[in-house]
Amino acid sequence: MRNLRMTAGTIVVALGLCQMAKAVSGEPQYWDRSVAEFPRIEGETDDAPRLQRAVDATENRVLFVPSGDYQLAQTLVITNFCSVLMHKGARLQAKKPMDFVVRVNLSPVFKARDRMDFGTFFKGGRIDGCGIASCLSIHGYIHFTLRDVCFHNGKLYGLRVKGEQGPGGAELNAYNLHCVNKVSGNAGNTAVRVSGCDDHFTDCWSMDYTTGFDIEGGANLFTRCHVWGGVVGAPAPGEMPEYLQGSIGFRIRKDSANIILRECYADTASIGFLNEGWEVRILGCTYFYNTGCIKHVKPEKLDKMFVFRQPGGTMLVADGMICKNLDALTIYEGNGNARFRDIIYCGKNYAPNEFKPGACDFRLNPPRQAAHAAVPGSE
């Protein structure tokens, strides 16, 4: 078989012919340009410059990133409404320390509504901070779609939403995001930090980030989001696993209002739900702690653990489940401005007569006060 040598020009021509063939056959076009059209220039030692050239050449259109590993020594910046479609096997990796591997900032034209592209998206692939960079920042958006993306080993964040100066930050539609941290040395990091409003997160996971979802703003909705950890080991024998120490499943900050968590799962976090926001609703959510992750931890090294901590704000907790399989687990600590309703309690580590706010009564006609119990001090 003959050996074939493909030059950059040959690749561009081949891609062009392929697109022409698709157009003739009627097969739909999913992108306008491909990173394969932008090879490295002589002297370039990483892929950031050619990725930036590809983005800059695809304003208001769709850029495809083929399968493969792309090494970045500087941040890839998107300000021109370039939508990115990554092959599921494509990975953007930090080669040197930087704030973020990718920054999307549409703030410069946020107020010029006639110039906004309300269909901009970033889909697919993996962004790996390699423990030396955060993964993705999105700012200045309106109706931006983010889906099917994995955020690996973010130094401070897997995903940071509306974290920069300048206007903009509403209607982020996020689906099927997977935040995974497998490297040590970044304790205190956060999988998803949100400061926008009217943002929707659905079917998202966090594994081994110290905080799963850190939320502020207004009218942000989270559905079927799951936080867990314990895979990365302890920094020393007998201590808590690195990312479980001081861990928080869902944090809602004091400047927040009308936040809804629905069918979310705080799985193996020292604090399941930390709330200081107002009119917060935690509906159909579950708390569970995998004790297998801490079986080698010395008792004096264990965190004090809470299902709910509420230093401030107000919240309704309803239709959820709490599994207590640790003696040290406290169900609720806070200011008392909370209402619990129809909560299923399971597990074997409850103290005799332990208070179970809003415990679900499975009798056909339960007393009204049993089905709608408030925490002490809330009335």
Question: pLDDT tens digits for 301-318?
Answer: 888 999 999 999 999 999
* Model pLDDT for residues 236-248, shown as the tens digit of each residue: 999 999 999 999 9
In whole angstroms, give the CA distance from residue 376 to residue 46: 59
In whole angstroms, give the CA distance from residue 255 to residue 173: 21
Sign of the torsion formed by the C-alpha atoms of 352, 357, 363 and 365: positive
Among candidate residues 208, 178, 18, the one with its CA nearest the CA of residue 88: 178
Asked whether the predicted pLDDT for residue 2 surpasses 60, the reply is: no
Residue 327 exposed, middle or buried by CB count within 10 Å (0-12, 13-18, 19+): exposed
Q: What is the mean pLDDT of the chain?
A: 88
CA atoms within 13 A on the CB side of 307: 25
As a CATH number, domain 76-371 is 2.160.20
* Model pLDDT for residues 257-313, shown as the tens digit of each residue: 999 999 999 999 999 999 999 999 999 999 999 988 898 898 888 889 999 999 999
pLDDT value for 371: 43
* Model pLDDT for residues 106-144, shown as the tens digit of each residue: 876 655 555 666 789 999 999 999 999 999 999 989 899
Domain ranges of the chain: 76-371
Asked whether the predicted pLDDT for residue 24 surpasses 60, the reply is: no
Residue 213 DSSP SS3 = strand
Q: What is the edge-to-edge ordering of all strands in the sheet holding 271-275?
A: 76-78, 100-105, 134-139, 157-161, 190-194, 211-215, 248-252, 271-275, 305-310, 329-334
pLDDT, average across residues 61-73: 97
Cα distances from 120 to residues 62, 196, 340, in angstroms, run 9, 17, 40
In whole angstroms, give the CA distance from residue 307 to residue 375: 14
Maximum average pLDDT range among 218-222, 326-330, 365-369: 218-222
pLDDT value for 375: 63
